[in-house]
């Protein structure tokens, strides 16, 4: 049995990409050697291309499972190296989508808490086309799988490196998983009121629940 751990720590800087319009994105992350400081706004050496929609304390660190990358490789017939989905932490041995919103992980010297989920966008579609994947319909396909990976806030700053164990040090009493939150925010909006069970719910998610009319 694989001990839950970080397979790679990935960072990236904004670059130009061509889609329907010229834009800059930092979705492309690459593994780095040695310890990387995890701060309140993210990993040292990392950046976001669209700070109006990405980044901030509730989206400081993005995690995605290597197991899910392998599954997409098999389905799509393309190679997806660590960091290709824009994740800062490529994990092994832990189902990050079955984790609870508000769950806390001790990784290296940092304490992280699951705060939000990744919602796919057009930039993600462009990224997959660059990998030789589908040029159309990727966002829909990714959404249907409902395995988005979580965004985490940094409660205690510290260094993280590849190989660090992922220790779950706190699990909330509610049953709202990463997949549950994703479905509520995308395909099953009738589930939105259930997100109110989460203590410390991200302000942007709370606003969506309040505006939903449910």
CATH number at residue 172: 2.40.33.20
To the nearest whole number, what is the mean pLDDT of the chain? 91
Please write the tens of the pLDDT for every residue from 152-187: 999 999 999 999 999 999 999 999 999 999 999 999
Domain containing 75: what range?
Answer: 5-211
Which of these, 116, 93, 120, lies nearest to 178 by C-alpha position?
116
Greatest pairwise CA separation for the chain in angstroms: 48
Question: Distance between CA 144 and CA 166 in Å, rounded?
Answer: 27
Q: How many domains does the chain have?
A: 1
**187 in the Ramachandran plot: left (φ > 0), alpha (ψ -120 to 50) or beta?**
alpha
Q: What angle do CA 211, 98, 86 make, to 5 degrees?
A: 75
Question: Distance between CA 7 and CA 36 in Å, rounded?
Answer: 14
> How many CA atoms lie less than 13 Å away from 90 in the CB half-sphere?
22
Which pLDDT does position 26 carry in this prediction? 57
| Coil vs helix vs strand at 175 | coil
Question: Distance between CA 186 and CA 182 in Å, rounded?
Answer: 6
- Report yes or no: 90 and 81 within 8 Å, Cβ to Cβ: no
| Comparison of pLDDT for 22 and 192, the residue scoring more | 192
- Report yes or no: 80 and 72 within 8 Å, Cβ to Cβ: yes
Q: How confident is the model at residue 131 (pLDDT cuts 50, 70, 90)?
A: confident
| Cα 55–chain centre separation | 11
Q: Is the pLDDT of residue 22 over 70?
A: no
Question: Distance between CA 9 and CA 131 in Å, rounded?
Answer: 20
Reported pTM: 0.92
Please write the tens of the pLDDT for every residue from 23-72: 666 577 899 999 999 999 999 999 875 655 567 999 999 999 999 999 99
């Amino acid at each position: 049995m694989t001990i839950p751990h970080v397979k790679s720590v990935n960072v990236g800087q904004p670059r130009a990409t061509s889609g329907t319009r010229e834009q800059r994105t930092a979705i492309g992350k690459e593994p780095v050697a040695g310890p990387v400081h995890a701060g309140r706004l993210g990993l040292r050496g990392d950046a976001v291309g669209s700070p109006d929609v990405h980044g901030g304390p509730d989206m400081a660190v993005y995690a995605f499972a290597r197991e899910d990358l392998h599954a997409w490789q098999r389905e799509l017939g393309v190679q997806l190296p660590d960091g290709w989905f824009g994740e800062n932490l490529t994990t092994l041995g832990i189902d990050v989508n079955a984790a609870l919103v508000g769950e806390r992980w001790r990784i290296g010297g940092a304490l992280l808490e699951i705060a939000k989920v990744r919602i796919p966008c057009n930039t993600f579609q462009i990224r997959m086309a660059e990998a030789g994947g589908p040029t159309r319909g990727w966002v829909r396909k990714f959404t249907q799988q409902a395995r988005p990976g979580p965004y985490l806030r940094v409660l205690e700053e510290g260094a993280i490196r590849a190989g660090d164990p992922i220790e779950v040090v706190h699990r909330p009493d509610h049953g709202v998983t990463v997949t549950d939150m994703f479905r509520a925010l995308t395909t099953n909006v009738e589930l939105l009121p259930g997100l109110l069970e989460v203590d410390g719910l991200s302000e942007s998610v709370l606003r969506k629940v309040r505006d939903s009319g449910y």
